[in-house]
Amino acid sequence: MSIVRTFVLSMCLFLAVTDIHCDPIMRNVKKRNAVIQRVSICQLGDDSFKTIGEYFGHKKEHPYFRCIARDNENIRAGTYFVVGFNKSITLLPVEIFVRLYIITSPRDGVLSFKCKVPDSRHAFVSEIYCGITSVPIDIKTLRAWKVELVDKNDQVICSQQSYMWQ
């Protein structure tokens, strides 16, 4: 019994000391700026988001290990910008939006879209699927793009753009 008691007390002491020393480190990690490391663009259909639960009668879409933001929440199929960050998206502030600017042709000019990022996010996810679902866009006609992560006060947290945007 004394061996178990000693082990439990030593583990409690270890956890207390670790928490004291790691707390400033974790605060600094949360303060570090978010950086968009990569952006990939793809066309995804409605079937790309269906889960096995939906086939068994669940009416609501469940993202599981994806963070999905769309400009029109009722439509799944569209052009998606997969935005990858340098850290988990749970460390990003709540109530954030992704603003997408794209140029497909000179006569259309700059098209802008705003997608609300869900506040419920999984800890192991470091990317956001930002979907333009309200307007059909062909990737082949996409000339330039810019992605911005903005907070509720419309302040830019971080951004990334294509080479042609400059």
Number of neighbours of residue 53 by Cβ within 10 angstroms: 13
Provide the total of helices (H) and of strands (E) in the chain, helices listed first: 2, 8
For 48-62, how does the pLDDT look when each residue is reduced to its tens digit (9 = 90+)?
887 777 777 776 776
Decide: 98 and 114 in contact? Cβ < 8 Å: yes
Q: Around Cβ 150, how many Cβ atoms within 10 Å? A: 17
**Within the chain, which residues score under 50 in pLDDT?**
19-31
Q: Where are the domains of the chain?
A: 1-31, 34-165
pLDDT at 105: 85
Q: What is the pLDDT of residue 66?
A: 86
Check residue 77 and give its pLDDT: 93
Q: So what's the pLDDT on residue 21?
A: 47
The tokens for 23 are: 């707390």
What is the pLDDT at residue 55?
Answer: 74
CA atoms within 13 A on the CB side of 129: 20
The whole-angstrom separation of Cα 90 and Cα 110 is 31
| β partners of residue 102 | 111, 145
Q: What is the pLDDT of residue 31?
A: 43
**CATH code for 34-165?**
2.60.40
CA distance 56 to 65: 20
Give the pLDDT score at 91. Answer: 87
pLDDT computed for residue 51 by the predictor: 76
pLDDT value for 12: 60
